Structure 1
Amino acid sequence: MDVPRFLRQAGSVARTATVLSAGFTHRDIRNAVAAGEVCRLRHGVVALPGAPSDFVAAVLGNGLLTCASGAAHRGLWLLNQPEKVHLFCRHGGPPETVVHRESLVPHGTAEPVASITDILIHGLRCLPEVEAAVMVESAVRQGVTTLPYLRQRLPGNRNGAARKMLDLVDGTADSAIEVVARLLFRSEGIYTETQVELPGIGCVDFLLEGFLIVEIDGGSHLEPRQVKKDRSRNNASTLSGYSVLRYGYADVVYNPQKVVAEVWQVLRGRVIR
Structure 2
Amino acid sequence: MHWDEGLVRVGEAAPVPNTLLQVATCCGEDMFFAALESALRQSLLSPAGLIWLRRHLPTSMRWLVAFARADADSGLESLIRLRLHRIGITVRTQVRVPGVGEVDFVIDDFLIVEADGREGHAREKERSKDLRRDAAAAAAGYTTLRFTYELIIDDWHLVEAAIRGALARGSHLAPVV
TM-score (norm. length: structure 1): 0.57
Match runs of 1:104-119 below 5 Å: 107=8, 110-111=10-11, 113-119=13-19
The answer to whether 1:243 aligns with 2:143 is yes
Contact 1:151–1:163 (CA under 8 A) maintained in structure 2: no
Answer yes or no: is the 8 Å Cα contact 1:191–1:208 preserved in 2.
yes
Q: Distance in 2 between matches of 1:174 and 1:196?
A: 12
**Residue of 128, 132, 153 corresponding to 1:228:** 128
Deviations 1:205-262 (A, max 9, x none): 1111221101111232121221221121011100111101111011011111111111
Structure 2 gaps of 5+ residues are none
1:101 counterpart letter in structure 2: D
Query: C-alpha distance in 1, partners of 2:129/2:147?
Result: 16
Q: Does 1:208 align with 2:111?
A: no
User: Are the counterparts in 1 of residues 110 and 143 from structure 2 also a CA contact under 8 Å?
Assistant: yes
Question: Does the residue aligned with 2:103 lie in a helix, a strand or coil?
Answer: strand
Amino acid at match of 1:102: E
Cα distance in 2 for partners of 1:159, 1:189 equals 23
Structure with higher RCO (Cα < 8 A, 6+ apart): 2
Give me the whole-angstrom Cα distance separating, in 1, the residues matched to 2:142 and 2:59.
40
Q: CA offsets per residue over residues 70-120 of structure 1, 9 Å max, x none?
A: xxxxxxxxxxxxxxxx32xxxxxxxxxxxx2311xx546x52642223212
Correspondence for 1:268 among 158, 164, 168: 168
Find the counterpart in structure 1 of residue 88 from structure 2.
Answer: 189
**Matched position secondary structure for 1:220:** coil
Q: Which of residues 259, 262, 269 in structure 1 aligns to 2:159?
A: 259
Q: Which residue of 1 aligns with 2:51?
A: 151
Q: Distance in 1 between matches of 2:156 and 2:47?
A: 28
Q: Distance in 2 between matches of 1:137 and 1:185?
A: 16
Q: Secondary structure at the match of 2:134?
A: helix
Percentage identity across paired residues of the two chains: 28
Q: 5+ unaligned residues in a row in structure 1: which ranges?
A: 1-85, 88-99
Question: Pick from 52, 59, 63: which aligns with 1:160?
Answer: 59
- Alpha-carbon offset, residue 164 of structure 1: 2.2
Deviation at 1:141, TM superposition (A): 0.5
Q: CA deviation at 1:147?
A: 5.7
Equivalence for 2:5: 102
Larger of the two Rg values belongs to structure: 1
| Cα distance change of structure 1 residues 180 and 149 upon mapping to structure 2, 3 Å threshold | same
Task: Report the secondary structure of 1:173's partner residue.
Answer: coil
Paired residues, number: 172
- Give me the whole-angstrom Cα distance separating, in 1, the residues matched to 2:53 and 2:148: 35
Question: CA 1:236 to 1:244, structure 2 compared with 1: closer, same or farther past 3 Å?
Answer: same
SS of the residue aligned with 2:147? strand
Query: Structure 1 runs of 4+ off > 4 angstroms?
Result: none
Q: Is the 8 A contact 1:195 1:204 kept in 2?
A: yes
